[in-house]
Amino acid sequence: MKHYFRYESDPVRLDQYLPKAIPGLSRTQASVLIDDGSVTVNGKSVKPSFKLIPGSEVFVNIPDPVVSDILPEDIPLRILYEDDDLLVVDKPQGMVVHPAPGHYSGTLVNALMYYCRDSLSDINGTIRPGIIHRIDKDTSGLLIVVKNNRIHSKMAKMISDHDIVRKYRCCVHGFVESEKGTIDAPIGRSAGDRKKMAVKGSGKHAITHFEVLTRFAKASDLSVVLETGRTHQIRAHMSFIGHPAIGDPLYAGRRPKYGLVGQALHSKTLEFIHPDTGKQITVDSELPEYYSSLLERLSKED
């Protein structure tokens, strides 16, 4: 569906204007359309933050719905909270969140499509229904999944505004001396390895808080709270301070893996106010077996 507007008012951000101009379009959806190049101003692609001025000609092309070829799969899910609008899933280590090259089946999305049927938001497209945030394949733990676009938009804004508390456990190499700390360092794509993220001046603002729970002879078990949510944020920040997550295939180099197949990183607790009911939601996940076994092994080596 195509839309044309000639803007004739006070300057305003494009992503703020479009939801008012097109009924039913959320700001998140508007930003996705702009980033995809489906919106032009005066014939040129722009950013969501672009300021419209009087006389601006805006073209919007909303693509027709695409029928997904991602198939539902009857994969067991560990659901720790659910209501009519959302659910919180405890993802096992090794499961990919959404389909991508090399992983078109066996993902969390495949399982969600079977469990929720048609009750998943589609703001993030047909391969990421219900997904408003993600954790890496080898990171275990809690994820919020949303069932409709109305709640999706509200929850996405809550994440952007840092209104959702995300607490992790991360077991890292080395003896972390500070009881508590904050890592405030921008993160961007590594120039030397495109699979990795790195602290760099041109990166995006990123803040991670940590507290030492237990120290071992050659490792430390941390409680970590994300203030921002950048790709690989905890993994990159821990590596930056010289304490990469144990088992991390990207950031820990040749350090001992203690039998792990991925990083010792677990999304343990989520806390937020339900955007519709106003109810305080707190979901806590037990440490998975791989993490508990690692702690036991480290304690025996002291």
Amino acid at 226: L
DSSP code for 162: T
Is-catalytic flag, 136? yes
End-to-end CA distance of the chain: 65
Task: Decide if 141 contacts 223 (C-beta within 8 A).
Answer: no
Kindly provide the b/e burial profile for residues 147-175, where b requires at least 16 CB atoms within 10 angstroms of the residue's own CB: bbbebbbbbbebbeeeebebbbbbbbbbe
The active-site residue, picked from 136, 138, 221, 248, is 136
Task: Decide if 261 contacts 156 (C-beta within 8 A).
Answer: no
Distance in angstroms (rounded) separating the CA atoms of residues 264 and 235: 10
Task: Decide if 291 contacts 171 (C-beta within 8 A).
Answer: yes
Show contacts of 246-252: CB within 8 Å, 24+ apart. Answer: 246/171, 246/172, 246/173, 246/219, 246/294, 247/138, 247/294, 249/138, 250/193, 250/195, 250/196, 251/196, 252/173
Distance in angstroms (rounded) separating the CA atoms of residues 276 and 236: 35
Using DSSP's 3-state secondary structure scheme, residue 180 falls into strand
Task: Decide if 209 contacts 224 (C-beta within 8 A).
Answer: yes
Distance in angstroms (rounded) separating the CA atoms of residues 24 and 232: 33
Active site residues: 136
